[in-house]
Structure 1
Amino acid sequence: MPFLAAFPQIGAITELSHMRFALTNGTIYSGYTTAQGYAVLFENDKITDLVQHSEIPEGTTVIDAQGGIICPGFVDLQVNGGGGVYFTQYPTLDSLNTIRDAHLQFGTTSFLPTVISAYQERILETFSAVRKAMGQHPSTFLGMHLEGPFFSPQKPGAHDTACIRTATHEELDVLLEAGKDVLKYLTLAPECAEESILQRLVDSGIVLSAGHSMATYDQALHFFRNGVTAVTHLYNAMSGIDTKQPGLAAAALDYGQAWTGIIVDGEHCHPYAVRLAKKMLGQKLLLVSDCAACVGSDIAFTDFGNFKAYYRNGRCETEDGRLAGSALTMLQAVQNTVNLVGLELDEALRMATLYPAQVLGLEHQVGQLVPGAAANLVVLDQALQLQQVWIDGAAVPLAIGSKTV
């Protein structure tokens, strides 16, 4: 019988009640635990226990991991698109489900849909779509990451400069009300915002992340000590590590306490720079994809009207060669972190699971295989190739030869 034939599948109309599974015969990596000879028990859409293989209850359907690596589904705090769809461009529930389906093919079971700099009307549309998606698939859609529009004009990246603006209390009145319980993460240039704006955002409970910023070293330290708790795509679109005029990147490495995302695609930063960040930041460094619409698709480019983002040679770039997001999956990020950067597998997996969940305070719901957490699991073989994905206790049919860039 084919592997998936016996199991409830995503998208299928399946009654999951009283279905109990044990995923076993693999090395379990969950949080700070590594275990062999154990099984992950899950029933309906939740993890129920980790038990020794000999203690699997009678009547449980046993799933063989075939000596592979069992870990939580990947958690990505920066997903711009997938399946040929860019969420900012097409802010609908259908778009989000297309993006979800694309990323499940690469082991990402939870993420923050990310909206880049846009006019207020478009941002409000994205809030509405994400709220609906969170209601349908709460263990997948963890909220929304708004990347911009409150940036330094000197560090726009590939964002539309016409949309970049200074935050006002009037705009916050609208965004905080419309984005309540949806907007979880905001990237901004803190040096471009009034202190009263920053304090209001801190009080809202949104994770504030410094990015697309020209903050000086001293400014950045001030913001880290006063409510900015994260950094967006370290080294990219920010003031750097100049020895005479150190900026945001230098401050992030020196301070060492801000959650810091990094894009390990071999394009955004050299493996050495990742190793340096790991030595300085330890458990505060985490993987993000910052992926574009090309993940899980064979589209050649995305047309934004004012520019096109091309997908070529493993890069997502503008016509003149500037990076515009990435063509990365979290699966590839884990593989690169081990194979290119040289970090240990257990730490690479934590960077893709536990740490991003901790940023949002959701580590008991996703990012670990603990009782009560969502039954979101990934099985890799010893070469770190994807073998199985489970989402809310349902098996994901994996397309043979899934298209990546």
Structure 2
Amino acid sequence: MTAVFAITASRIFDGQNFHQDAALVIDGSKIGAVMPQSKLPAGIKTLPVGNGLIAPGFIDLQVNGGGDVLFNNQPDVTGIETICAAHARFGTTALMVTLITDVPDIRDTAVEAGCQAAQDAVPGFLGLHLEGPHLSVARKGTHDPSLIRPMTEDDLAYLETKAGTFGLAMMTVAPESVTPDQMRRLVAAGYHISLGHTDSACAVIADYVDAGATMVTHLFNAMSQLGNREPGLVGAGLSSPALHCGLIADGFHVDPVTMRVALAAKQGPAHIFLVTDAMSTIGTDSTGFDLNGRAVYRRDGRLTLADGTLAGADIDMLSCVRFVHERLDQPLEEALRMASLYPAQAIGAACKGSLTAGSDADFIVLSDKIDLLSTWIGGACVHEAKAERREARA
């Protein structure tokens, strides 16, 4: 494609509104404009997609793996590239590669890989999400309890030094292992703090929101629940206008009825946004993998440890969008926002999540049946479904 070109479609969703018979003008790696096809400048190079729907690319703030790579098991640039490419096949144009609780050496190696990926501008790499090890053993989920520990001054000093070197920085922590003062220092250094894997009371959560926490990790899972006398982290997340809440919409982690209640209850301006919590199985026919020396089994859309504990998710973002739209009866535009605009707002990625002039040219083309036709990052096509089908026939 030339530096400036246009893609025409029967519908374009810009993150807020639909435009009929419109054109998306791409200027290098940025969005130039969304305009009626009839208003396109004469002579501009155009790519028609007919009845396709153009929408902002998906943004996933919790991706542990993909393409047969689990970041904990391959914490290097090649691992990051593989994970990003695997999820691009399902419409994700920006993601936070997530490191699950591990030993300090693995953390340090992962951070250095993130630094290199940021320098190399790996397509789709938004930054690192460090999920642990500073969590609560009581709400460990699939995290190895022997590796969970309180944050030390050495941990904090290391994290402060590395902030800003590996793209955007996100951490999931629990009040049981991190003090409010430590959190304030992390926030001051540039980390986006998400609360999760905690059994803390709602009043305690309020103190951490005051200290700078802005997100909740995989709402309802591995946290204190909403009760009649104790609202827990679930109640805090839904009632706080400052807490953006990630949600795994696979039908296994959270019941659809509970999801509908949460969507109706959430107080803004923060929103519930979609995350996959995807593991290495995405884009593969693998039957399982190892995490911290423990076997994880893939069966019937679920990933579990031997004892049945859910171990991440076996779902891509496009499937989450379909679930929210078709099973939860959310309008398509809201399902798309939950996978693009809302996570961009949660992580402070102002140039992503919408198709407005000056935004990054990260977008997808969908069919009228919500099948993915192509994925574009920075104005370049990184995946085309037709090409994939041609390879399969060959």
TM-score bucket (shorter structure): over 0.9
Q: 1:123 aligns with which of 107, 123, 141?
A: 107
Q: Kindly indicate whether the alpha-carbon contact (under 8 Å) linking 2:61 and 2:95 is maintained by their aligned counterparts in 1.
A: yes
Partner of 2:73: 89
Partner of 1:393: 379
Partner of 2:370: 384
Q: Kindly indicate whether the alpha-carbon contact (under 8 Å) linking 1:74 and 1:352 is maintained by their aligned counterparts in 2.
A: yes
Would the alpha carbon gap of residues 265 and 334 (structure 1) be closer, same or farther in structure 2, given more than 3 Å must change?
same
Question: In the TM superposition, what is the alpha-carbon distance from 1:401 to its structure 2 partner?
Answer: 9.8
**Residue identity (%):** 35
TM-score, scaled relative to structure 2? 0.93
Q: Kindly indicate whether the alpha-carbon contact (under 8 Å) linking 1:134 and 1:140 is maintained by their aligned counterparts in 2.
A: no
Give, in whole Å, the separation in 1 of the partners of 2:88 and 2:310. 25
Question: In the TM superposition, what is the alpha-carbon distance from 1:358 to its structure 2 partner?
Answer: 1.1
Q: 1:265 aligns with which of 218, 242, 250?
A: 250
Partner of 1:286: 273
Partner of 1:184: 169
Counterpart of 2:88 in structure 1: which amino acid? L
Would the alpha carbon gap of residues 377 and 174 (structure 1) be closer, same or farther in structure 2, given more than 3 Å must change?
same
Partner of 1:162: 146
1:180-211 deviations in Å (ceiling 9; x for gaps): 33261100102432232122122222111110
Q: Kindly indicate whether the alpha-carbon contact (under 8 Å) linking 1:124 and 1:178 is maintained by their aligned counterparts in 2.
A: no
Partner of 1:275: 260
Give, in whole Å, the separation in 2 of the partners of 1:310 and 1:84. 14
**1:221 and 2:200 aligned:** no
Question: In the TM superposition, what is the alpha-carbon distance from 1:312 to its structure 2 partner?
Answer: 1.2
Would the alpha carbon gap of residues 397 and 358 (structure 1) be closer, same or farther in structure 2, given more than 3 Å must change?
same
Give, in whole Å, the separation in 2 of the partners of 1:237 and 1:41. 44
Partner of 1:152: 136
Question: In the TM superposition, what is the alpha-carbon distance from 1:352 to its structure 2 partner?
Answer: 0.5
Question: In the TM superposition, what is the alpha-carbon distance from 1:57 to its structure 2 partner?
Answer: 2.1
Q: Kindly indicate whether the alpha-carbon contact (under 8 Å) linking 2:163 and 2:191 is maintained by their aligned counterparts in 1.
A: no
Aligned length: 386
Structure 1 stretch 52-61 or stretch 393-402: which is displaced more? 393-402
Question: In the TM superposition, what is the alpha-carbon distance from 1:103 to its structure 2 partner?
Answer: 0.7
Structure 2's unaligned 5+ residue stretches are none
Partner of 1:142: 126
**1:314 and 2:301 aligned:** yes
Give, in whole Å, the separation in 1 of the partners of 2:128 and 2:390. 30
Give, in whole Å, the separation in 1 of the partners of 2:390 and 2:195. 37
1:45-84 deviations in Å (ceiling 9; x for gaps): 2211112101222332322222222101100000100000
Q: 1:367 aligns with which of 353, 360, 376?
A: 353
1:242-298 deviations in Å (ceiling 9; x for gaps): 213331112212224301000000110011111111112255110001000000111
Q: Kindly indicate whether the alpha-carbon contact (under 8 Å) linking 2:66 and 2:283 is maintained by their aligned counterparts in 1.
A: yes
Q: Kindly indicate whether the alpha-carbon contact (under 8 Å) linking 2:224 and 2:232 is maintained by their aligned counterparts in 1.
A: yes
Counterpart of 1:213 in structure 2: which amino acid? T
Give, in whole Å, the separation in 2 of the partners of 1:124 and 1:98. 20
For the residue of structure 2 that corresponds to 1:336, the secondary structure is helix
For the residue of structure 2 that corresponds to 1:339, the secondary structure is helix
TM-score, scaled relative to structure 1? 0.91
